[in-house]
Structure 1
Amino acid sequence: MILRTIKVVAIGALISGLAACNSSDDDPLPVPPPVAEPEPLPQLSAAVGAAFSGNCNDLTANLSELENTEITSSSEVAAGELTVAGNDIAAHCLVTGNMHQRVSSVDGNAYAIGFEMRLPIDWNGRFYHQANGGIDGRASTAIGGGGPGGLTNALYQGFAVLSSDAGHSGSLGPTFGVDPIARLDYGYTAVEKLTPMAKQLISLAYGKGPDRSYFGGCSNGGRHTFNTFARMPNEYDGYLAGAPGFRLPYAAIANIFGAQQYHSVATDPDDLSTGFTEDERGMVAAAALVKCDDLDGVNDGQIHAFEACQEIFSLDDVPTCIGDRDGSCLSAAQKTAIAPIFSGAVTSTGEEFYAPFPFDTGIATGGYAQWEFDIPTTRDTGAVAFIWGVPVADPATFDDTDFGLNGSIDDMITSVESTDDIYTEAANSFMIPPNNGEELSAVRERGAKIMVYHGMSDPIFSPLDTVNWYKNLSANNNDDATDFARLYMIPGMGHCSGGPAVDQVDLLTPLVAWVENGTAPDNLVATARGAGNVGGENGDVPADWSVDRSRPLCQYPLVAHYDSNSSGDVELAASFSCQ
Structure 2
Amino acid sequence: MNKRYTITGAVALSALIAGCGGSSGSDSPEPTPTPPAPAPQLSCAEITTEALDLEGLVITKASQNGAEESSPAHCLVEGNLHARKSEVDNQQYAIGFEVRLPEDWNGRFFFQGGGGTDGAINPAMGSLPGEGNTTTALALGYAVASTDGGHKSVDDGTPAGGSLFGLDPQARVDYGYNAVGEVTQVAQNLIERHYDSAAHHSYFVGCSNGGRQGMVAASRFAHLYDGIIAGNPGFNLPQAGIQHAWDNQQFAKVAPIDADSGLPIIQDAFTMQDMGLVANAALQQCDALDGLADGLISNLAACDATFDPDQHLPRCEGAKDASCLSAEQIDALKGVFGGPKNSQGEQLYASWPWDAGVGEMGWRLWKLAMPFPNPTPTIPNSIIATMGGSSLPYVFMTPPSPVSGAGHGLIDYLLSYNFDSDAPGIYRTNNVYTESAMSFMTPPNPSDLSAFRDRGSKMIVYHGNSDPVFSVHDTINWYENLGAADAKAADYARLFTIPGQNHCSGGPSTSQFDMLTALVDWVEEGKAPDQIIAQASAGSSLGDNVQSRPLCPHPQYAQYDGKGDPKVASSFACVAPNTAG
Q: Same fold (TM over 0.5)?
A: yes
- Post-superposition shift, 1:447? 0.7
Alignment of 1:162-561 (within 5 A): 162-171=145-154, 172-268=161-257, 269-316=263-310, 317-373=312-368, 374-395=382-403, 399-435=409-445, 437-478=446-487, 480-530=488-538, 539-545=539-545, 549-561=547-559
Shift of 1:105: 1.0
User: Does the residue aligned with 2:303 lie in a helix, a strand or coil?
Assistant: helix
**Aligned with 2:144 (options 143, 161, 174):** 161
Q: Which residue of 2 aligns with 1:571?
A: 567
* Aligned-partner SS, 2:390: helix
Contact 2:313 2:330 in 1 (8 A): no
Q: CA deviation at 1:395?
A: 4.9
2:74 to 92, 116, 119: 92
Aligned partners of 1:451 and 1:486 also within 8 Å: yes
- Whether the aligned pair in 2 keeps the contact of 1:62 and 1:204 (CA below 8 Å) is no
Q: 1:453 to 1:570 in 2, by over 3 A?
A: same
| Paired residue secondary structure (2:111) | strand
Greater Cα radius of gyration, structure 1 or 2: 1
Match of 2:6 in 1: none
Q: Secondary structure at the match of 2:490?
A: coil
1:402-437 deviation per Cα after TM superposition (whole angstroms, max 9, x unaligned): 0011221233312111111111111111111112x2
The one-character-per-residue Cα deviations of 1:291-335 (angstroms, maximum 9, x if unpaired) are: 111111111010000110111112121121122222321211122
Distance in 2 (CA, whole Å) between partners of 1:285 and 1:572 is: 23
Which letter maps to 2:184?
T
Cα distance between partner residues in 2 of 1:380 and 1:324:
34
- The SS at the match of 1:488 is strand
- The 2-side partners of 1:322 and 1:396 are apart by 42
Output the CA distance in 2 between the equivalents of 1:211 and 1:544. Answer: 43
Question: Is the Cα contact below 8 Å between 1:376 and 1:404 reproduced in 2?
Answer: no
Instruction: Give me the whole-angstrom Cα distance separating, in 2, the residues matched to 1:384 and 1:410.
Output: 15
1:409 aligns to what SS in structure 2?
coil
Q: State the shift of 1:55 in Å.
A: 4.1
How many residues of Structure 1 are paired with residues of Structure 2 in the alignment? Answer: 508
Closer/same/farther in 2, CA of residues 199 and 54 from structure 1, 3 Å limit = closer
Alignment partner, residue 104 of structure 1: 86
> Alpha carbons of 1:394 and 1:258: their partners in 2 closer, same or farther (altered >3 Å)?
closer
Distance 1:61 1:385 in 2: 37
**Contact between 2:132 and 2:537, CA under 8 Å: does it hold in 1?**
no
Matches within 5 A, 1:136-147: 136-147=118-129
Identity, in percent, stands at: 45
TM-score by length of 1: 0.85
Q: Which segment drifts farther, 403-412 or 277-286?
A: 403-412
d(CA) in 1 for partners of 2:317, 2:489? 50
SS in 2 for 1:100: strand
Contact 2:98/2:147 (<8 A) preserved? yes
For 2:254, what is the secondary structure of its paired residue?
coil
Change (3 A) 1:279 1:298: same
CA distance in 2 between counterparts of 1:232 and 1:274 reads 45
CA contact (8 A) 1:119 1:160 kept: yes
Amino acid at match of 2:216: N
Shift of 1:439: 1.0
Tell me, which stretches of 5 or more residues in structure 1 are unaligned?
A: 1-51, 84-88, 531-538
Question: CA separation in 2, counterparts of 1:301 and 1:220?
Answer: 29
Q: How big is the shift at 1:143?
A: 2.3
Cα deviations by residue, 1:354-387 (Å, 9 ceiling, x for unpaired): 1110000110111211111212321112111111
Q: Is the 8 A contact 1:176 1:182 kept in 2?
A: yes
Change (3 A) 1:53 1:149: farther
